[in-house]
Amino acid sequence: MIVLTLSKCPNALRGDLTKWMFEIDTNVFVGRMSARVRDEIWKRVVEFSADGRAVLVYTVNNEQRFEFRTHNSKGEVVDLDGIKLFMKPSENKTE
């Protein structure tokens, strides 16, 4: 199972994604496909959403049972002993 969320993406990309996935809510796509097709879709998302953000979550055979990728996100993906977490920057600004 694959879940893809987008923000600030062109409508052409959304239309293209509906060929492969179901849009269950605005800019939220789900589907099931091979790893090769998933990787090609991710390349297309990164290419066409230069200013937008994207998050891709998909099932894999690891301890967490899923993997995720981000594009233009404020946070970063960190690997802690095989467990991937999403680390967001602190909102607290002290001056």
- The full set of domain ranges for the chain reads 2-87
Q: Output the pLDDT for position 87.
A: 85
Q: Output the pLDDT for position 94.
A: 62
Topology classification of domain 2-87: Alpha-Beta Plaits (3.30.70)
State how far the Cα of 41 lies from the Cα of 47, in Å rounded to an integer: 10
In tens, the pLDDT along 16-57 reads: 999 999 999 999 999 999 999 999 999 999 999 888 999 999
Say what the pTM is: 0.83
